[in-house]
Amino acid sequence: MKPSSASVSGASEITTSGSVNCRLILPLKESCTSAPRGDFSGAEEVFATALSQEEAVTAAIHDLYRLADKLGDRASIPFLLDFISEQTEEEAMVSAIVDRLALADGQSGALFILDHELGAREGDPGV
């Protein structure tokens, strides 16, 4: 079979021969190999950063979806749709926390309640 290729927004190129030139994942890979950041000014900055990262992950998955669609990779599309749904939920959850932190405006009572609610969540302890 003659190899073909597709790219999405100039972000990545994957050929049907199995060759992958995936600039799409490089920013994520670089962030995974560096030390985690630990110099946040407070909870507001932590969750604003988390929201930004969730948005970046969502954008990367959308790029993969467009690429799968462009390549006619029907098997990957439902797989990626599950991740898109998950990311939509995660962005909404983190965005709600960012909004509540803004409303709390550093007041200890409000932060105590928010901390208690977040600590009582079931399931994945990560955000």
Q: Which residues bind Fe ion (CB under 5 A)?
A: 54, 90
| Helix (H) / strand (E) containing 98 | helix 76-104
Nearer to Fe ion, 12 or 87 (CB): 87
**100 vs 18, 26, 66, 105, 109, CA distance in Å?**
46, 33, 34, 9, 12
Q: How far is CA 1 from the centre of its chain?
A: 35
**Closest CB to Fe ion among 13 and 55?**
55
Closer of 69 and 91 to Fe ion (Cβ) = 91
Nearest distance, CB of residue 82 and Fe ion, angstroms:
12
Spatial distance between the Cα atoms of 102 and 110, rounded to a whole number of angstroms: 10
Nearest distance from C-beta of residue 53 to Fe ion, angstroms = 8
Half-sphere exposure in the Cβ direction for 107 (13 Å, CA): 8
Distance in Å, CB of 33 to Fe ion, minimum:
19
CB of 66 to Fe ion, least distance (A): 19
Nearer to Fe ion, 14 or 54 (CB): 54
